[in-house]
């Protein structure tokens, strides 16, 4: 009987812990989705994007935000995280070259450098 009670407590704890983790992941996704929308709207104005291009961009930003969040939440060392994030940025930029025209892409890169510098 005592073993059953202990197992029941452990099961309940494990279930609630898993439930909390799932809720946190859903919440993270919702936050990242909202940030992707906001960033897309900002870039739509700055780069004079069409609605179609904006929708593609939003999906791209969201996809790479999820990947970046996964890296940042991982147990990798700081150096490994930095390398992984740099790789993500490289591959995202490669995809963006296909989405933007040349002028938009270089303006995008310029804006990204401005954001990083904090101006």
Write out pLDDT tens, residues 34-85: 999 999 999 999 999 999 999 999 999 999 999 999 999 999 999 999 999 9
| Whole-structure pTM value | 0.75
pLDDT of residue 17: 47
pLDDT of residue 41: 96
pLDDT of residue 113: 82
Residue 118 — φ and ψ, nearest 5°? 85, 15
Mean pLDDT of the chain: 84
Q: 67: closest CA among 36, 96, 88, 94?
A: 88
């Amino acid at each position: 009987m005592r073993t059953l009670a202990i197992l029941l407590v452990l099961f309940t704890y494990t279930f609630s812990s898993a439930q909390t983790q799932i809720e946190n992941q859903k919440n993270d996704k919702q936050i990242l989705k909202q940030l992707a929308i906001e960033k897309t709207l900002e870039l739509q104005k700055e780069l004079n994007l069409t609605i179609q291009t904006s929708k593609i961009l939003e999906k791209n930003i969201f996809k790479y935000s999820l990947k970046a969040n996964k890296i940042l939440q991982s147990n990798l060392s700081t150096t490994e995280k930095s390398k992984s994030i740099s790789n993500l940025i490289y591959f995202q930029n490669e995809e963006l070259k296909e989405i933007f025209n040349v002028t938009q892409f270089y303006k995008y890169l310029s804006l990204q450098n401005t954001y990083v510098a904090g101006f």
